[in-house]
Amino acid sequence: MKRILALLLILLLIPVGVSSKMPNAEEQELKKKLESGLDDQINILDTREWDRLMKELKNQGNPMVKETDVKKVIRDLVTGNFNFDLKGILSVMGDSFFRELKGNMAWMIQVLVLAVICGVLNHLQGSFENSSVASIAYFVCYLVVMVLVIHSLTSILDVGKKAIEQMVFFMQIIIPVLLALLIAMGGLASSAVLQPTIAILVGTVGTFLKNTMIPLILTAAILVLVNHINDKIQLNRLSGLIENLCKWTLGIVFTIFIGVLTIQGAMAASVDGISVRTAKYAIDTFVPIVGGLFSKALDTIISCSLLVKNATGVAGLLVIAIICIHPLMKILSLLTMYKLSGALLEPISDPKIVDCLNRIGNVITILFVTVAGVAILFFLTIALMIGAGNITVMMR
């Protein structure tokens, strides 16, 4: 008897492989239900303005735009068929940067020639019987350089201003879509809190930076140009004050934006998670017979909404990148031209022109930081809305 019991015990301890795979018919039925739910969620999205924006960007020659059908992109993201080609993106960015450098080459040559002439005239002022002739010639050459600089500044400021306007417009498009999907998955508190917060922050910050930073940057550049006309005109401290004011403004605005958004989103997400869990428990417990079925259906709806919302948010992040990268490459190429011109002219040209070009490069750096900063703020806004929905599902 002992031997029989020992043999049975050994047999019971032998590991047995168990397959957890469901039957093919049940698996196919579940897959069809999930795909049907996802298609329903995607088809009800209103992406007409989004599609129009993508077509407008493509018509403007933005090389980052590859697909203008937003629903197709969202569907590919949900199903895992989206191909994120990082190498291709970096290649497009490099091509865009060097193409802008090539386009600015004629401007750079003109500035270099005029700056060299100014340097020669400045050194030969003592050789003329009447030094005022050389001074007038120098002044004329410097005015031509100023005209070229102002023309390049106004064009690049328009590029930065338009990029901010397009990002603000896109945020006004995507926020209602993400809020609707957040409500569909039970994020009522998050939607109620984030809707006024994000609407106020996005609209206010975008408009404020566009209407305040762009004029301040232009003012700082003009002060730099005027400051280098003559040694008798001293506006160096005033132009430095304007530049510092731009930096302080960016720092304060970015800090307030991130702080308010983070606090509001974290608080609302926790309330939503508890509310959804309570609703599921109430349906499952107090609705007779079909309560469990309704509870599972609620799970399916929330899961589909979560997938579509996350895919829509990721698509929004991609669009923000598409909008800002091309203008940033233009700004960066012009910034490179100013810094390179200053470096090349330092041994042969007048020190005032060299310092002027270098200071203008610093002003353009502020424009670059402004556009990039707005893009990062909107990145964080969309990421927070994605995270708020994920926390809601996790808390339930």
Count of the separate structural domains present in the chain: 1
Residue 33: its pLDDT value, please? Answer: 61
Give a yes or no: residue 238 inside a domain.
yes
Return the closest-CA partner of residue 39 out of 311, 251, 292, 279: 311
HEC readout, 314-369: HHHHHHHHHHHHHHHHHHHHHHHHHHHHHHHHCCCCCHHHHHHHHHHHHHHHHHHH
Secondary structure (3-state) at 205: helix
How many CB atoms are closer than 10 A to CB 43?
Answer: 9
In this prediction, residue 179 carries a pLDDT of 78
Q: Convert the pLDDT of each residue in 115-158 to its tens digit.
A: 887 777 766 665 555 556 667 777 787 888 888 888 888 889 99
Which residues in the chain come in under a pLDDT of 50?
12, 16-22, 274, 276, 278-283, 286-298, 395
Q: Which of 265, 269, 272, 267 is nearest to 186 (CA)?
A: 272
Question: Closest Cα partner for 343 from 357, 330, 331, 332?
Answer: 357
188 within a domain of the structure (yes/no): yes
| Token digits of residue 116 | 């060299």
Residue 66 within any structural domain of the chain:
yes
Is residue 262 situated within a structural domain?
Answer: yes
| CA angle (180, 183, 186) in 5-degree steps | 160
Q: Are 395 and 190 in contact (CB under 8 A)?
A: no
The answer to whether residues 178 and 170 touch, using CB atoms and an 8 Å cutoff, is no
pLDDT of 290 reads 42
Whole-number pLDDT of residue 294: 42
Note whether residue 135 is domain-resident.
no
DSSP structural state of residue 129: S
Residue showing tokens 């050994």: 10
Is residue 241 a part of any domain in this protein? yes
Nearest to 192 by CA among 202, 201, 182: 182
Per this entry, what is the length of the chain?
396
Quick one: angle between helices 131-184 and 105-123, nearest 10?
Answer: 150
Per-residue model confidence (pLDDT) at position 368: 92
Say whether 5 sits in a helix, a strand or coil. Answer: helix
d(CA 112, CA 145): 9
Q: Give the range of the structural domain holding residue 234, as residue numbers without chain letter.
A: 47-96+153-395
pLDDT at 291: 42
Is residue 362 included in any domain, yes or no?
yes
In a domain, 329, yes or no: yes
Contacts of residues 203-208 at CB distance under 8 Å and 24 or more positions apart, as own/partner, are 203/168, 203/172, 205/253, 205/257, 205/374, 205/377, 206/164, 206/165, 206/167, 206/168, 206/171, 206/374, 207/168, 208/253
